[in-house]
Each structure stands twice: as C-alpha cells, then as structure tokens.
Amino acid sequence: MSPASNSDPVSPRDAAPLSVLGAFAIEVVGDAPVDRDRLAQAEVGALAHLIARDLADFAPEAARLELIIVGAHYDPVELLRPGWPLHRELDELAARAPRGGLERDNGRIIAFGASGSVLPGTLAPSPDYLGGPLRLVPFVLKGAEDVVARVGDAFERDLIEVGMAAADTALAAQAAFGLQVEHARFMTVHDLAAMTSIQYEHAGLAPLWPLLETALLHTGESAWLDAAPEPLVHYVDGEARIALMSPASWEQHYDHGIATTDDGQRERQQRLFQFFQGRQRQIAAVLGAHGIAVQFVHCDLDDDCRAALA
C-alpha cells in the first residue's frame, strides 16, 4: 500500500504519494514503569536527529525528505484510526510551523514537544491507553513525490525486516521517556496494522479485523461482520452499526430454537445470550478505541436485522 497523501490519508496504490506515515515503536520491558509520555520542546531535538539518521540508514533518500515528528508516545489504537488522525495532525501543524526547523544536511526536521505539559493541537496521548507493552512515536516523511514514492516503497518492502533502531536511539528514548526498552524498531502504519491483526487473532478478535481493516485502509467502502455466533455489525458511512437484539430476536436470528420449553435448555440459552451481550460490548469497545463511531440499532422479533443495519 502506498504512502498517504495530505488530502486523502490512505491513497490508492496508483495515486501520487505525498508522504510516508510511520512510527518509532518501543516495546517496553514487562510491567516496568513509564515515567513520561511526552517531552518538552527543548528535549525533542536529540531524539529526532537520531530517528532521522536511522531512517536514512534504511533508505538513504529519506535524508532528502522533511521529517515531522512529535516527542510523545501512544498506544497502537491511537494511531490505527480512520484517516490516520495523529499523522494528519502532525502534517497540519507542520504546515503552519515557521520555516526552518532543526538543522539537517538535507531535508529539515520539524519536531513538536510540550510547552509546560501541553502538546500542540490534538497531540496529547490519551490517559485511557497508557501502560500498554508497545508505545509508538509517530512520524511523517514529506517531500518531492518521486523521492517519497521510492522511500515509501523501500519502507513498505523492507522496514519490517530491517528496521531495528540503533542502540543509541533506543537508549536515548529510554532515558528521555524514563522507560525500559526491550526492543525498538521502525515500521510503517501498514506494518503496524498487519501486526495488530495478528495480535487480535490471538486475542479472539479475528472475525472483527476485516471490518477494522476496511475502516482503516479502504475509506468509503463498507463491511459486514455476519458470522454466527458473533454479533451482527455493519460498517458503513464511517460508523459501525451493531444490531441490538432482544432475547427472542437473537434466538430467531441465530436459530437457537425459540420453541424449547426445557428448563435446562432455557438456562443455557440465557447464558449464551449473556455471553453474546458481553461480546457486543467488547466489540463496541474495540471499535471505539480505534476512533470508530458505534450506533446500536434495535432489531426486534421478525425484523430483518441486516436491513435494519443497512
């Protein structure tokens, strides 16, 4: 998948790419504490220079591009949202920044840090997602379209295999943020999406991933989660519509046999329905964490639930 443009954060492969979206990924040791989730403006430069150097080591032409970065780290769900809002915010803030930036041989570096404890724009990491094992420092590379295209292709092809950060970069991040680094590497947003899909599979969320992938990577398209015994979900028009079923409509939709009068069977049906409701809440929470609006749509007995979600 090609890098994203400013006007369309997920451009088709045949569109002219204008930027490369990626992240410096820090895997934190176990339950080790993390002292800081953001750096002051005066502290960002040293880490930004090391990251720029590492990216140029992977693809020398990256040194010709403008690196836009923030001195803060985030959970994967904060990056993996439709429209790539964190990367878009970096791009928009950079467009309004004074010319100049940090010194660099070729392309300039624009690094955003906190003034006091306040980051510019909407760059503040959410306190709801602190403490995860993988922390991400997002970056954008911009410049001449032909250079961006070549660097983007190289990163999409190779970065997941060769993108380990240099030791001094990992140590600088460890010291700056006050955390313990297990591994530090670079990846594109598409590498991150692929890695997250595997993690979700291990967490029992594989049926939801095609819908999430559509929201992230195929803007404007729709997708269904319609695979018993999973909740019925339709992603369309930028939101996820979840069928909110009564026990009777649930039994009808999933063909659980609403006519049964056996007490043991009815108790089992009740437990299954409670599990189903819990699964609905879990799916709604995951979608919400990824910045996808969720709407519950009532589906009563004898209703066509798919039609209700259309």
- pLDDT digits 0-9 by tens, 228-247: 899 999 999 999 999 999 99
In this prediction, residue 206 carries a pLDDT of: 97
DSSP state of 17: -
Contact between residue 283 and residue 293 where contact means Cβ atoms under 8 Å apart: no
Q: In the chain, what percentage of residues exceed pLDDT 70? A: 90
Cβ atoms of residues 136 and 25 within 8 Å: yes
When pLDDT is cut at 50, 70 and 90, the band that residue 5 belongs to is: very low
Rounded-to-5 percentages of helix, strand, coil across the chain: 45, 20, 35
Query: Is there a contact between 172 and 24 (Cβ–Cβ < 8 Å)?
Result: no
Please tell me the predicted confidence (pLDDT) of residue 17. Answer: 47
Q: So where are the chain's domains?
A: 19-203, 214-309
CA 270 to chain centre: 36
For position 9, what pLDDT does the model report?
39
Task: Return the exposure string of 250-282: e unless at least 16 CB atoms fall within 10 Å of the residue's CB, then b.
Answer: bbbbbebeeeeeeeeeeeebeebbeebeebbee
Instruction: Label residue 218 exposed, middle or buried (CB < 10 Å: 0-12, 13-18, 19+).
Output: middle
H/E segment holding residue 75: none
Q: What is the arithmetic mean of pLDDT over 8-31? A: 71
For the cut 60, the answer to whether the pLDDT of residue 4 exceeds it is no
Model confidence at 208, pLDDT cuts 50, 70, 90, reads very high
Q: How many CA atoms lie within 13 A of 276 on its CB side?
A: 25
pLDDT over 90 at 284, yes or no = yes
Say what the pTM is. 0.89
pLDDT surpasses 60 at 275: yes
